[in-house]
Amino acid sequence: MAAVARFLIRGANSKLSVPGIGAGAQSSYGATLLKLSATCNACTKPQRRHVAHFTFQPDPVPSQYGPTQKMNLFQSVTSALDNTLASDPTAVIFGEDVAFGGVFRCTVGLRDKYGKDRVFNTPLCEQGIVGFGIGVAVTGATAIAEIQFADYIFPAFDQIVNEAAKYRYRSGNLFDCGKLTIRAPWGCVGHGSLYHSQSPEAFFAHCPGIKVVIPRGPVQAKGLLLSCIADMNPCIFFEPKILYRAAVEQVPVEAYTIPLSQADVLQEGSDVTLVAWGTQVHVMREVASMAQEKLGVSCEVIDLQTILPWDIDTVCKSVAKTGRLLISHEAPVTGGFASEISSTVQEECFLNLEAPIRRVCGYDTPFPHIFEPFYIPDKWKCFEAIKRMINY
């Protein structure tokens, strides 16, 4: 409406002739439209969302790893990469735009500090990035590849699944590319839409020979990334990009590791087990507080951390105690990793279950743009699932 008004006003001022409308009429219509445009703008202007679907809950300051420094998640990733380049002369970092810091600034300053031969850009070719990384790792060097967004990892799917994951097996352990780590920003971000919001971890969970890891915050990001880099198996490290700046914690400055394939029990409880990873862990923490406050329900919150191979024992031990399980992730519900957890727990803990296992996940649709608030598994959907389990 405002654009039409401006067009008509400009036309009147510049003697532009509009068929069927004289100059005076144009000016009159323009003035009328300008008066209306303020009202219409108030009605049609989209309201900005100022509140995320989660509240980041920082962990206690770790004391066992030495001095700490305030870092957000992308800075903790940078710190881990810095530690690796400093301690391992064979380590190289490569990917699209990493030489000047990357789109999320995770490699900022590293090329200047360690040189263009150790931190360098690649062509826009994910298959080539991973294929190159496999070759580097086979020589015994430490290869850290960045895929700019997890959504674009699929061109490299063949290299990861048919080459990296099988390299050791097909050579009878004569050769391997275990020193390969693939980093990728992952998950919803509030405005990423179809191609910058996906959570593809379940695709790789079906592939023996690799490890898949997703942190929940800066402290875990640094420790788990360093564990992936040190691990003698190719690893995929998905980084929740919505947490890059939103998540801030006191992170140890020196290098440290957090064990892979070991879930973290963040809160003990007796009535319901809540399992998640990445950003969704913070949703579950808030849901646990809501359940305690509004329902008097005690929830045990578990951060899975490693998707493949996952910590079956910790989850099953918790479900045997609580009798109920809720799993939540951002990826679509059908074929999501929650399905694998549900199946395993049903097999191992069938006689302990007090209610059917519930999954609160994304819908079976492409990730939407303006409808993202309706798509994501927020605290209200998870809270409703808890009520249904308790009332079963």
Active-site residues, by number, are 126, 196
DSSP structure string for 101-143:
T-TT-TTTTHHHHH-TTTEEE--S-HHHHHHHHHHHHHTT--E
Strands 358-362, 211-213: pairing kind: unpaired
Length of the chain, please?
392
Residues ≥6 apart with Cβ < 8 Å to 99: 107, 111, 116, 119, 120, 121
Give the CA distances from residue 297 to residues 22, 37, 54, 358, 360, in Å, rounded to whole numbers and listed in that order.
72, 52, 20, 16, 18
Give the CA distances from residue 367 to residues 54, 128, 190, in Å, rounded to whole numbers and listed in that order.
18, 27, 11
DSSP, res 159: I
Residues ≥6 apart with Cβ < 8 Å to 93: 81, 85, 107, 110, 118, 119, 120, 144, 146
Give the helix/strand (H/E) hosting 339. helix 337-349
List the one residue out of 273, 365, 255, 362 whose CA is nearest residue 316.
Answer: 273
CB 65, CB 256: distance < 8 Å: yes
Number of C-beta neighbours around residue 134 at 10 A: 19
Distance (Å, whole) CA 99 – CA 122: 9
Terminal Cα distance for the chain, rounded: 53
